Amino acid sequence: MSSVLLHSLTPLPPYRRRSTALRSTHHVLQQTSKRSIAFTCKSLTDDGDDGYLLDAPVSAGDGFSFSGGKYSDGPNPADEWFKQGRYMKAHPVYGTGEKAKDPIFGLAMGGSSQASTDVFRWFCVESGNVDKPSVLLIHGFPSQAYSYRKVLPLLSKDYHAIAFDWLGFGYSDKPQPKYGFDYTLDEFVSALESVIDELGVNKVSLVVQGYFAPIVVKYASNHQEKLNDLILINPPLTAKHANLPSTLSIFSNFLLGEIFSQDPLRASDKALTSCGPYKMKEDDAMVYRRPYLTSGSSGFALNAISRSMKKELKKYVEEMRKILMDDDWKVKTSICWGQRDRWLDFDGVEDFCKAAKHRLVELPMAGHHVQEDSGEELGSILAGLISRKVRI
């Protein structure tokens, strides 16, 4: 296992006129069987590019309230969350190294839309002791690691819990499609493998929510020896589930999808609140909106991922069903289901769990994003489901 390059974070400056590049000093950790995500310092400086940049100024998201229509002088919740996280480098950048251009006008994209020069940066938040069993919390589509903010503290006593943003989401890298990462589902499987390998854990329990579940199951099917437990939260389990809801499929449409994916209210607020009873607080909404307010790269990534999901999800769901019902599947598997999910119907879920002999845990008051609707309840459930001893 190669050593990991890690970097500390500082709050984004409240005002800047253009995108900046992250220039970091690196601290190379000694190889261990497990790695805590520890980092050194980095600074924010001008990227030195005089070309036209699409990225909006960071200040567009600082303290702005859509509901109240006002600016606040208080601390921005997105910055507070950002300070809790770390960057980890994982998964090589493929491509020619050519500077990314936006697909509509052909203009040079800002720094946040450019691929890293060698390896992608993933935003991670961790809690607990590295000597405890490892748990990887994987958010759904579209969401962020922030969705597990209520779960992380509840797992910290008995586990080493890590939540990360997928490429294209939150504060992880968001390369322009066709410039190092195309956001296909196969690429996400490969990227997840890189992340887990880079963490250096011998055994890990995987918790995944929503439409990224088939991707995680495909990875798990090839690495059963690395898994302690697999917990799926409202995954697409039936043939009917393989069709994206209109709230998400709209982002895959030609032109209209490219426009809507740049709208923070559609890309974050509506995607989170239309699939269940979740009532989003303004402070939480600002964290989810922030990536869409500060850069066009988040929208372009959302558009690309939606197209991949629309094209490939059916095949992945069918494959996931076969894997989880196969006699060769040996990983302890549980399924947590929010009963008020407006995107995925419960019909067929109970029958599948019985046939596959997997445990089913129902949360009657939660919708699709269970960790948002019932974060504390889910955290307690996960603490009871995940093995406290590493299986050999």
Q: Which residues pair with 121 in a beta bridge?
A: 89
How high is the pLDDT of residue 187? 97
CATH of the domain at 264: 3.40.50.1820
Structural domain span for residue 171: 77-386
Instruction: Check residue 254 and give its pLDDT.
Output: 85
Which residues 6+ apart lie within 8 Å of 155 measured at CB? 127, 128, 135, 161, 379, 382, 383, 386
Alpha-carbon dihedral angle through residues 284, 286, 292, 293, given to the nearest 10 degrees = 180
Q: How far apart are CA 207 and CA 231, in angstroms?
A: 5
Taken in order 236, 195, 182, 297, the sign of the CA dihedral is positive
Q: Are 386 and 135 in contact (CB under 8 A)?
A: yes
Strands 42-46 and 20-24, by their bridges, are antiparallel
Report the SS3 class of residue 369: coil
CA dist 368 and 62 (Å) reads: 29
CB-based contact 89:37 (threshold 8 Å): no
CB 353 within 8 A of CB 333: no
Q: What is the pLDDT of residue 294?
A: 86
Region of residue 255 (left: phi > 0; alpha: psi -120 to 50; beta: else): left
| Structure token pair of residue 209 | 């929510």
Task: Specify if 133 maps to a domain.
Answer: yes
**Both structure tokens of 319:** 């494959």
User: Does residue 71 form part of some domain?
Assistant: no
Residues in CB range of 41: below 8 A, 6 or more apart: 7, 8, 10, 24, 25
DSSP conformation letters of 9-63:
--PPPS--SS-EEEEE--EEPPP-SS-----B-EEEEE----S---PPPGGGGSS
Written as six digits, the tokens of 49 are 């590019």
pLDDT in the model for residue 34: 53
Q: Structural domain tally of the chain?
A: 1
Residue 190: partners with Cβ closer than 8 Å, 6 or more residues away? 91
What are the DSSP E strand ranges found in 157-200?
Answer: 160-164
By three-state DSSP, how is residue 385 classified?
helix
Q: Give which of 260, 270, 349, 330 is closest to 299, Cα–Cα.
A: 260
pLDDT in 10s for each residue of the chain, 392 residues: 443 334 444 444 333 333 333 333 333 333 444 555 543 333 333 344 333 233 333 333 333 333 333 335 567 889 999 999 999 999 988 765 566 666 666 666 655 555 566 899 999 999 999 999 999 999 999 999 999 999 999 999 999 999 999 999 999 999 888 878 999 999 999 999 999 999 998 899 999 999 999 999 999 999 999 999 999 999 999 999 999 999 999 999 988 888 999 999 899 999 889 998 888 888 999 999 999 998 888 999 999 999 999 999 999 999 999 999 999 999 999 999 999 999 999 999 999 999 999 999 999 999 999 999 999 999 999 999 997 766 54
Stated length of the chain: 392
Report yes or no on 219 lying in a domain. Answer: yes
| 19 and 110 Cβ atoms separated by less than 8 Å | yes
Question: How many Å apart are CA 139 and CA 366, to the nearest integer?
Answer: 16
Q: 225 is written with which tokens? A: 């020896």
Return the pLDDT at 370. Answer: 96
Please report whether residue 64 resides in a domain.
no
pTM score, two decimals? 0.80
pLDDT of 183 reads 96
Q: Which two tokens stand for residue 67?
A: 């509901």
Q: What is the phi/psi pair of residue 250, to 5°?
A: -60, -30
Encoded tokens for 221: 């099917």
* Backbone phi, psi, residue 160, to 5°: -100, 100
Best CA proximity match to 34, nearest among 4, 63, 11: 4
* 20 domain-assigned: no
Residue 295: per-residue pLDDT: 83
- Residue 251 in contact with residue 261, Cβ under 8 Å? yes
In a domain, residue 69? The reply is no
**Cβ neighbours around 164 below 10 Å, total:** 29
The set of residues, in sequence order, having a beta carbon less than 8 Å from that of 357 and lying 6+ positions away, is none
* In a domain? residue 60: no
pLDDT reported for residue 207: 98
